[in-house]
Structure 1
């Protein structure tokens, strides 16, 4: 080995690699513990080049809202003036997606999904994604076709994996992304409902339950027509009939629910040993009886469990962050001890390395244990996200079935309190939900001008405490059901603190007096509902 050049480094690298950057052969790329990338190369003299930091254009909430309103105005203007609406397909579509679910035999644990894609124009580089909600999995969940002829048949197997949470959705969504002949991209999507026997099987109706949900409809329905996939033999063997039927989940047999009908009063009751097990039958009934005025008054039925799952979500994310900090310290210690051992081994005077060897072994075991703990916490967070999606979906359905909620409010609520899984280091479900609910309480659900000046949720904030988020959820649901909207009230445009000429100090402090109004409202709500035991201590 011949030394060609050298350069002094400002930091000790943890990874070194050779590269070819902008025609500079033989340059060295260095990575430090802090994540800084350094490029060393030989110029007219030993020179060091450090890439400049990325220019991040951080926008505030007000700037984002202003840009959003501007874009919405431009879209509306274009839609009114143009012959075709913005985003509408011009002419015929590029491809057609047809879906088919193959019949399931008795005892099958998977169902076969067939996706037929028929090309209407010349397309290539076709990516097809099969999306199902956990604990359902699709294998394979992606397909790639380089060149598509007239049509192609794709197949995926959908199955149920072991989980402690009940599935709440049987819909499979297919998304196809492709390139046209002119190299422009396009997309198409379709969805299909999977059969109930994939996740459910008939069981003897339970006589006792921990949770009961009551529904009413003016139209009579026979239970076998709601679940036609189950044969008559299964109904007879389990003691189920047109008035009462019991079910259990295949991935978690201890989770059961019983659906019973009171024909005289046209009422339906869903009994279960778990609140989360009721979401799927409620979803099935809502979909199959969409035009039959399904009603309920129990809009806070799943609120206790939703708030508990919110606590658990934030606790798990806090735990993961703490473990990541510990493993960062452990790996830094491991590198320091290794460097110390290398320096000792290079010394001409022999010395005892037993202590360093034992320290390396201990540190390695500690880091490995932390890695296993992080993996376990991430699995628990995945299960928690599934439970959150389950309970959020149930809450939205129950609020919709009250019949007293403004459709626009419900749409904004379902978007703010999304059941989409957020597995991210920087933004999780709590951050997205708190920001969305904060916006609703400042705009469409604001009761006064005072609430419109509530401090917005900071984009850089990380939710480490669930108190405010639980208050937002409870207050938002209560105001939606009571149809409290800002435009329906005569509100003074002057803040209460400004009416005497003085603005109240501390209004934009981390906890302004406005939050005390939320505390009072939540306490009043809790005294009338069943969620008092869950959040009363947080409010106090």
Structure 2
């Protein structure tokens, strides 16, 4: 027998033959009286909305009329009533009434009465949402943890959850495996929606914070998050005991012995080439492929040649999961760049063949390739294997990107390389470009690039000089590099150890600056295209929203040419995207040309100043810090920061200049004037005795290294003309660079002699 029973406190009968359901009842201080006294809100399927404020009555007495605060007929069936913070800009309570095809939010207020009827209550419609689907029920709450307001979620009869952020419709989602609508509620503790499916299962759904949704091109849909998995392991409490220092010392010595033995036998990286577990070698075919293997090449030539590269992997131990990656610098490409093999047994090998060809419509800055093999080597202590790598480089032939052609006497750009040995016939050092049946004293050679430009190489008959000339500055690089490498290889075979190349002309900085400006202008264009695309995309989405609003309205208004405006904006977006894509391709070509010209400038500076290998490495790291540049980190700002660092350290002229600090953030500059000024100052300080070094000692002793009689370097644009040590050539100032082109260092007679075929 129960001690407690439900005792009558107040009751009434609502209407006549009206129908009610679970959602038709709500209790809350709907009129925001401030007293905290709740009212009873009741809605019926007949469309009647009633609000009661009950008072206790004596047994047998009837309900007092003042208990009914409000009764209105809304003309549509009421499915559910709820009270919450549904109006933006205020945290007051409002009444939400759900109809079959409409959601209405009302404000309930009361005014003091002047007669015996008491206070007068009324409702005011704040806003309403016309529903596209027939509603079943709703729930509300601070979805997503919002504060100071409540959001509403409506479940339709066909299983769609529609979420409303007060006066705005947010989005909708369909419930999976839906058959019939079930009860719906919101749990603020777990921030999730709870319902009962048609399978009689309770389901909880949580639109989750911080989830990244990715879709791959092969249809793999994945939701992931950034962070670490929580550790559910909790260390058990240990019983306190006294420490035995003798046992602790013995255990420490034992562990140190194990660590020492492991470090001796379990080296991850090999100590020398002879003891490598896996050796990878690459052999480039001496001849071009008889049938070209070029695929989807952009080069506008009759035929694009290819060359075969044979890669061999030799394993002395068991190599698990070997993976070969082959990389060449764009615009070069390979027919296949990834190879996966089965586990390699000891003393086994694998061989693959691939072809390299010119894919992009510009000449590469490097004719080099790289092979990298990654694998796991199992050990006793680590049976799953220790990750290791093996790599090798290979050089591609010059014939891959150019072929012999008639030499050209006229050219816009010319450089002259001096040597300390008599000139060598091109038949000897360029046998792949000269017919052996020709005269053995051939001293002029033409190179026709697949991209359309031409470069000419001349050897002087009366001096130990070679001239390289072309209409494009960047095309001088590969021919100059090949000349230097082939001369060094020739004299090495002759057992000549004192061969050297030098450069005594002027560095072609003005022509180099033109390539920098071309590349930077394309970067500025890319930024403009990005901003315009963003503006047009915002405009396109705004027009879309207006059109959707018109289409969803039951009584749609005229479109007022919104469809025409949408189509025009769409065409603008497509045109801007095409222009941005074309600009991106042009920027890649400009960067490739800039890298070629940069390689050339680095070589000329190293030959001019007779730099060591370490100094050349610093020069390359300064001027070629990026394999490719982006809008976020570009070549100009990176090189400017590197040169500024050298000017303030090893090339500084005072301790005061060394104390200056650089900015911590790299950003795209407004123009290239500062960069060009720093490059000019960099060359000027090298000419006055500065030496490249990353050590702090050499930087502090720079004033002692400077040759006597040299004055400090002025910071103004009117730099003095500086005499290069050991030469009669002069480096022009920054102001004179704009007027002076690069000039050959040969005398007029020698130049005329060198140009004769």
Q: TM-score range by the shorter chain?
A: 0.7 to 0.9
CA distance in 2, matches of 1:4, 1:280: 65
Name the counterpart of 1:51.
210
1:159–1:412 Cα change, 3 Å: same
| Residue 270 of structure 2 is aligned to residue 89 of structure 1 | yes
CA distance in 2, matches of 1:427, 1:145: 37
What CA deviation, in whole Å up to 9, does each residue of 1:429-485 have, x standing for no partner? 112212211211121111112221334133242223211111122222222343325
1:476–1:438 Cα change, 3 Å: same
TM-score w.r.t. length of structure 2: 0.55
The structural deviation recorded for 1:246 is 2.4
Match of 1:2 among 153, 159, 169: 159
| Residue 662 of structure 2 is aligned to residue 459 of structure 1 | no
3-state SS of the aligned residue for 1:489?
helix
Match of 2:394 among 192, 196, 201: 192
Name the counterpart of 2:501.
294
3-state SS of the aligned residue for 2:586?
helix
TM-score w.r.t. length of structure 1: 0.75
Structure with larger Rg = 2
Name the counterpart of 2:369.
172
| Residue 465 of structure 2 is aligned to residue 267 of structure 1 | yes
Q: Compare 323-332 and 147-156 and name the one that shifted more.
A: 147-156
Name the counterpart of 1:112.
308
Does the CA contact (< 8 Å) of 1:416 and 1:436 recur in 2?
yes
Does the CA contact (< 8 Å) of 1:304 and 1:531 recur in 2?
no
What CA deviation, in whole Å up to 9, does each residue of 1:87-130 have, x standing for no partner? 85147223111111123259861111111111222223333332
3-state SS of the aligned residue for 1:427?
coil
| Residue 352 of structure 2 is aligned to residue 145 of structure 1 | no
Q: Which has the higher contact order (CA 8 A, sep 6+)?
A: 1
What CA deviation, in whole Å up to 9, does each residue of 1:312-370 have, x standing for no partner? 22221121112111111211221111111111011121332261110110110010011
CA distance in 2, matches of 1:119, 1:139: 25
Gaps of 5+ in 1: 20-38, 56-81, 492-513
Name the counterpart of 2:286.
103
CA distance in 2, matches of 1:422, 1:151: 35
What CA deviation, in whole Å up to 9, does each residue of 1:172-197 have, x standing for no partner? 22222333334432222211222222
Equivalent residues in 2 for 1:107-256, closer than 5 Å: 109-145=305-341, 147-149=343-345, 150-161=348-359, 163=361, 165-181=362-378, 182-220=384-422, 221-230=424-433, 232=435, 236=438, 242-253=441-452, 255-256=453-454
1:466–1:125 Cα change, 3 Å: farther
Match of 2:483 among 263, 285, 295: 285
1:5–1:305 Cα change, 3 Å: same
CA distance in 2, matches of 1:464, 1:333: 28
Whose strand fraction is larger, Structure 1's or Structure 2's?
A: 2
1:462–1:294 Cα change, 3 Å: same
1:4–1:216 Cα change, 3 Å: closer
Name the counterpart of 1:374.
580
Does the CA contact (< 8 Å) of 1:471 and 1:522 recur in 2?
no
Calculate the aligned-residue CA RMSD, in Å: 3.8
Aligned length: 461
Name the counterpart of 1:397.
603
CA distance in 1, matches of 2:287, 2:546: 63
Whose helix fraction is larger, Structure 1's or Structure 2's?
A: 1
Equivalent residues in 2 for 1:410-425, closer than 5 Å: 410-418=616-624, 420-425=626-631
Gaps of 5+ in 2: 1-157, 177-189, 196-203, 212-224, 228-262, 293-304, 379-383, 489-496, 692-698, 706-711, 724-729, 740-757
CA distance in 2, matches of 1:202, 1:264: 25
